[in-house]
Every structure is written in C-alpha cells, then in structure tokens.
Amino acid sequence: MWCIPPKQSAAFVADMEQVLDVYQRSFDPRFPVVCMDESNKQLIGDVQPPLPMKPGQVKKDDCNYERHGTSNLFIAFEPAVGRRDVTATARRAKGDWATYVKFIVDEFCPTAERITLVCDQLNTHALSSLYAAFPPEEAHRLARKLELVHTPKHGSWLNMAEIEFSALSRQCLDRRITDHDLLAREVAAWAKARNDHQTTVHWRFTTTDARTKLSSLYPKFLP
C-alpha cells in the first residue's frame, strides 16, 4: 500500500534507475552506449570591431551586437571510449533528429549490432520520427539497431551528454559566433581535440547512491 507519493512520481524513479543501470554495463563494442542531446546557440555579430588584446589588457567587445538567428547543435557521446561528435544544424525538427540518428547508426557506430541511445523526453526523440523522415524500410532498419533509453522528465542531468555540452559551452561557445558555418567549424574542432585526448566522463552515481541521496523521491510504503 502506497502513502501519498512525492512530487516526483514513481515514473521518475523508474526512468532514473533504468539510465543508471545502462551506465553500469560492461563495455562491449557490439553494443555501445551513446548519450545524445541537443541545444540551441544564438548567433551574434559585432556592431563595432572589438578592441584587440594588449599587454596587460584583455580583448574588449562593444556592448552592442547584432542577432543573426540561431543554430541547433546535436551531440553524440560514447563515454566508454571518450569519443564524441558535435554537428550544427539549422533546425531541430523531427527530420533533423532522425537524420542525426542515421548518422550515429551508419557513421558514428557503423559496426555496432545494437546501440543504446540515451536521450531526454523531447517529443522528437522517438522512433516515430524515423518513420516521419524516411521510407518505412529505412526507418525500420534504423529502429532495429536502436534501444532508446529516456532520462526522466526534469532529470536530463542524468544524460552524460549534458556534461559534454557544459564543457563545450565553457571552452568553445562562451563568445560571439557570427554565423552557422563558423559555428560548425568551431564545434567540430573542439570535438576533435577532445577525441584526440580521449577525454571522457567518469560516472560514479549508481542506483545505490540514488536510493540513499534521493530517497525523498521514492514512494514510501506504509507498514
């Protein structure tokens, strides 16, 4: 018998533990775990040329700027081997997600038998997006290669791709980038540098930790 459930439902706990179980799997190149996420980047240009650096002085940007729209960034991160891809797209619709998933299947993990794809619960992150973008034979081929594991709502912090996006924001995107092509080149160079060093995430948070540190999120049984 349940008592009054906490604000976060049992669905949150179930989704969280599923993700944490995935992270505890032993590495097998036939069945890689890939964390995927997406984010917007506002494109901004200068109205006045910035003042260049001088000895003892940093570069100075004028407070005025021009907006040049936004671009979307997809990231795929395989933590077991410290490998990632970052791709800039003009949009983030179902077709864009499906196209990037096709890239993951055919180019990022071409030899995998089945890919566990960790992603959040955005409405485009579903196998149905494949069928909206491709002929049924192709959509079915891609779907059979995938195991989708969704982080819980309000629990996207469980996706290791978010850690990569945080590093990308600090190391590459914390400045004005004017246009889509420049953004694409910059994020590709950032990803290559981290791949060359096999930079990865050492995930330590387990189901046991969750049941201790997040015990308030778990429904309670009455005696």
**60 vs 96, residue with greater confidence:** 96
pTM over 0.85: yes
Q: Report how far apart the first and last C-alpha atoms of the chain are (Å, whole number).
A: 8
Query: What are the CA-CA distances from residue 37 to residues 1, 48, 185, 213, 215 (Å)?
Result: 38, 34, 19, 26, 27
What single-letter amino acid sits at 44? I
Average pLDDT of the chain is 90
Q: Where do the structural domains in the chain lie, given as residue ranges?
A: 27-47+63-211
List of residues 6+ apart from 221 with CB closer than 8 A: 1, 2, 3
- Tokens 């997006």: give the residue: 129
- Tokens 């299947």: give the residue: 105
List of residues 6+ apart from 102 with CB closer than 8 A: 134, 142
**In whole angstroms, what is the distance from residue 31 CA to residue 66 CA?**
45
Question: Per-residue pLDDT for 1 more than 70?
Answer: no
Topology of domain 27-47+63-211 in CATH is Nucleotidyltransferase; domain 5 (3.30.420)
183-199: per-residue pLDDT in tens? Answer: 999 999 999 999 999 99
Query: What are the CA-CA distances from residue 49 to residues 64, 134, 218 (Å)?
Result: 10, 45, 55
